[in-house]
Amino acid sequence: MCKPSHCNTKNTEAVGIVAMVVIALAILGTVGPIVAAISHVIIEVIKLVAIGIASGAMIAAVAWATVQVMRARAINRPAPWNYLPAQQGPARISRPRLPIIEQSCITCGDTGRIIRVFGNGDSFQIRACPECQPAQLTR
């Protein structure tokens, strides 16, 4: 059957295609900036994670290198010399100490002497015990 000449279907198809394109562009125009913002945030998070991992790896590498250098220096360094003072006092044999229960003087522990330390422990003085030997303190 023959179609009349005034019914042209190509125009209606073109209008439909144009309408679909306009709708698609409208959806893309509203959704596009949201997708762009989300992708921008995701990229920033990935950058921050990469910076954090790189910083941690760098700190670990510096710590490892420091430990290796210190270990190598400690192994290769000669042992320190312990110098003794020029005059060393003679060794004294002391009597064995009594148990705390049997001691009569709490201050000196029945030794008759106390040690008085000055400053940071650089100098000290041995004195008679003020509790059990008061006669020696008058000198």
19 and 73 share a domain?
yes
Q: Is residue 91 part of a domain?
A: no
Q: Is residue 120 part of a domain?
A: yes
Q: Alpha-carbon distance 33 to 59, whole Å?
A: 39
Q: Which two tokens stand for residue 139?
A: 């000198």
Q: Is residue 87 part of a domain?
A: no
65 and 107 share a domain?
no
Q: Is residue 63 part of a domain?
A: yes
pTM strictly above 0.75: no
Q: Is residue 7 part of a domain?
A: no
Instruction: Dump the DSSP string for 57-103.
Output: HHHHHHHHHHHHHHHHHHHHSPPPP-PPPSS-PPP-PPPPPPPGGG-
62 and 109 share a domain?
no
20 and 60 share a domain?
yes
Q: Over its length of 139 residues, how does the chain's per-residue pLDDT go in tens digits?
A: 555 555 555 567 778 888 888 888 888 888 888 888 999 999 999 999 999 999 999 999 999 999 999 998 888 877 677 665 666 666 666 666 666 666 777 777 777 788 877 777 777 788 888 777 665 545 4
Q: Is residue 4 part of a domain?
A: no
Q: Which domain holds residue 45?
A: 12-77
34 and 73 share a domain?
yes
67 and 120 share a domain?
no
Q: Alpha-carbon distance 40 to 33, whole Å?
A: 10
29 and 63 share a domain?
yes
- Please tell me the total count of domains within the chain: 2
Three-state SS at 13: helix
